[in-house]
Structure 1
Amino acid sequence: MLLEQYQLEPERVADQLPGILDQEFMVAIGWDADQLLLQPPSDHPLLGWAQCIVPECLVDAATYGGLCTGCKKRLAHSDMTREAFIADPPPKTGGGTYKWLIDEWVCQVNGCPRPISSRQTDLCGSHAGGCRAVFGHVTAETIARYLQLPTTVALAPLGGCKVATCLRLTHFNGGLCRIHAVRWREDVKAEPRRDFEHWCRVEPGVALSGVANLRGLEASVVTELLAGIQLRAQQELRTRYTYLNTIANDLRCQQVSTIFELDPPPRQRAVANVRLLADRERVLAATELTDWARAEATPSEEEITASTQLARPIEN
């Protein structure tokens, strides 16, 4: 449908597609061409998402006018009414401001560019180890003394995480951020012969509310996805960022150079549909959930059926 709608020649799609992208539309949907991230405003009429109703909380609430999972838990552990909580929420644990790249918290040693290993210490792993080696333990008092030592100096940066989709800072000498280091250990334990370089190319990024991550895809594939989103918008069809992430992960895993190489086609495979159905079965099978919690956690029929519709405008 994409080729027919824009009257593209199959053998020249890669050359012709960039020219049909509406740059004003790309700005309106929050497309960042440098970082390859799509961050649509939560109130966008077609790409919007249900932002938590608590002021300054930027987390997806799944349902419009609702609370995100974290705020639901904070409300449950407070003695506040829902209305009072929304009007004046208590500060979040581990810091009051929202940072979408948690590894932007860097070591408090002057000039050290490495990410912190813990919000309790605000030190990178190496400096936390140094403090422990000198004083035997890491406390607010020993950290203050450690920071005054002339030998406590900034360390060289470790760079960014080697996973293509990731924007976080490297935590360890292995070249991975904290979360991807954990994922790699788990994956290689299950599959010892796993190739590290290939894994870094295809592994999904760290999920973030309201963000579709198109990093790690061929430039032609990114353009095709954006053209598909634009076409859906012209047809007044909604596109949820979570569906984009599912399709992007599938395209990345297969390392295709065009969306038309995806095998089998997205409409037939319906990866997102299968995953949502599996999620629904797990939720329905859980015995410890209340009826309210089960209803909140169960994917709706609309989500399940819509998960296969995103690919339709971009199929030939």
Structure 2
Amino acid sequence: MCRTHRWQRIKRGGTLEEFLADPAVKGLLSLGDCSVLACNRQAVSEFGTRLCHPHGKQLPALRRKPGCDEARWLRTAPSGGFGVEISFRGLPDLVVAQLLFGLQHRCHRGARTEAGNFRVLIDSAVVVPFGTCSEPSNVAAGGGACPLRFRCVGCDHFSTDVSYLSDLRTYLDDLLRQREKLRSMAEADDWARTEAMPSDAEITRIRRLIQRVTEDVGTLTEAERGEIQRAAQVVRQMRQNFLGMPRIRQPLPDLRPERPA
């Protein structure tokens, strides 16, 4: 019974059988699908936007936040799912194929995949180096249309978590080693060395990300930290088994004919 008919029954009183048999009770037109792109539920209410019950509960709190981008939320919010149901709605065909291919290989190896773990992977299927991306055009292209040419850590659409902490630390060490190596290359032209040099801004951003994640974990109890580390290990294994860890894509070279040879 929908919410509207439920309220009508409460107002009229009587038993459920009497309410269902009452000729004055009329059927109502469907509100259609939930407006969240990834959701496969029917809309049950309108807040200026047709939404299912779970997403309808989230929207009022979202609208109270400063800088709320409702259109982006509708495009990128996860389906939520329930029970063992898994929804691929809103994902590009290539990403769906990758997920199903990885799941098939796990099944052939006799591995078991919990629905909840698989749903988490789907919710962050547009994986970029050291995190996930929610930039709308990149999400729509399955991760292949980054406007910043994959300088992910410098973008507000980028997010990371504790499962990427070891990868972030490894990447920071690589940047520092590369910087020191380039500084010692006296045989290279200044312009070539400058363009190949990792930027101080990127190194600072990586350090801040590591510090933020480490400090957040540090506020937990020892038992909670152990649980988080075990969960992060599971996520890392699933990420490698399904999609693999994306590599940093090098920016396109800026070749200008006017430069001296």
Shift of 1:218: 0.4
**How much has 1:160 moved relative to structure 2?**
2.1
Task: For 2:83 and 2:119, locate their aligned partners in 1 and report how far apart those are by CA, in whole Å.
Answer: 11
User: Aligned in 2, Cα 1:152/1:271: closer, same or farther, shift over 3 Å?
Assistant: same
Matched, 1:203 2:87: no
| 55, 62, 85: which one aligns with 1:187 | 62
Cross-structure match for 1:26: none
- Superposed CA deviations along residues 227-253 of structure 1, whole A, max 9, x for unmatched, are 223344455655443333223222363
Selected match of 1:311 from 227, 234, 239? 239
SS at match of 2:237: coil
What is the CA deviation profile of residues 195-233 of structure 1, one whole-angstrom value per residue up to 9, with x for unaligned ones? 33x322211123424344322100111101222233444
Worse overlay, 200-209 or 243-252: 243-252
CA contact (8 A) 1:161 1:170 kept: yes
Which position in structure 2 is the counterpart of 1:168? 41
Equivalence map 1:44-193=2 (5 Å): 107=1, 116-117=2-3, 125=4, 127-130=5-8, 137-139=11-13, 141=14, 149-173=22-46, 174-191=49-66, 193=68
Q: 2:98 aligns with which of 209, 220, 224?
A: 224
Greater mean alpha carbon deviation, residues 255-264 or residues 162-171: 255-264
Given the superposition, is the C-alpha separation of residues 229 and 148 from structure 1 closer, same or farther in structure 2, using an over 3 Å criterion?
Answer: closer
TM-score, reference length from structure 1 = 0.43
Comparing both structures, which one devotes a greater share of its residues to helix? 2
Query: Quick one: which amino acid aligns to residue 184 of structure 1?
Result: L
What is the aligned partner in structure 2 of residue 214 from structure 1?
A: 88
The 3-state SS of whatever aligns with 1:245 is helix
Distance 1:259 1:304, change over 3 A: same
Structure 1 residues 305, 221: closer, same or farther in 2, change over 3 A?
Answer: same
> What is the correspondence of 1:234-273 to structure 2 with a 5 Å cutoff?
234=108, 239-251=113-125, 253-254=134-135, 255-258=139-142, 271=161, 273=163
RMSD over aligned Cα atoms = 4.2
- The separation in 2 between residues aligned to 1:207 and 1:143, in whole angstroms, is 29
Q: CA deviation at 1:257?
A: 2.4
What SS class does the counterpart of residue 165 from structure 1 fall into? coil
The Cα offsets for residues 257-311 of structure 1, whole Å up to 9 and x where unpaired, read as: 235668659xxx7647379x999878748xxxxxxxx79xx73644321201222
Change in Cα spacing, 1:151 to 1:278, as seen in structure 2 (3 Å) is farther
Contact kept, 8 Å, 2:35 with 2:51, in 1: the verdict is: yes
Unmatched tracts of structure 2, length 5 or more: 127-133, 154-158, 166-213, 247-261
Match of 1:47 in 2: none
Q: Contact 1:280–1:299 (CA<8 Å) still a contact in 2?
A: no
Structure of larger gyration radius: 2
Distance 1:248 1:131, change over 3 A: closer
CA distance in 1, matches of 2:162, 2:116: 9
- In 2, distance between residues paired with 1:176 and 1:131? 23
How far, CA to CA, are the matches of 1:241 and 1:280 in structure 2? 26
- How many angstroms apart in 2 are the aligned matches of 1:207 and 1:283? 28
Partner letter of residue 175 of structure 1? Answer: R
Q: Which has the higher contact order (CA 8 A, sep 6+)?
A: 1
* Compared CA separation, residues 161 and 281, structure 1 to 2 (3 A): farther
Q: Unaligned 5+ residue runs, structure 1?
A: 1-106, 108-115, 118-124, 286-293
% identity of equivalent residues: 18
Matches of 1:159 and 1:128 in 2, distance apart?
A: 19
Deviation digits for residues 167-202 of structure 1, max 9, x if unmatched?
A: 222112431112111111111111454233x32221
Residue 176 of structure 2 is matched in structure 1 by none
Contact 1:246 1:271 in 2 (8 A): no
Change in CA separation of 1:283 and 1:160 when aligned onto 2, cut-off 3 Å: farther
Q: How many residues align?
A: 177
Give the partner amino acid of 2:95: V
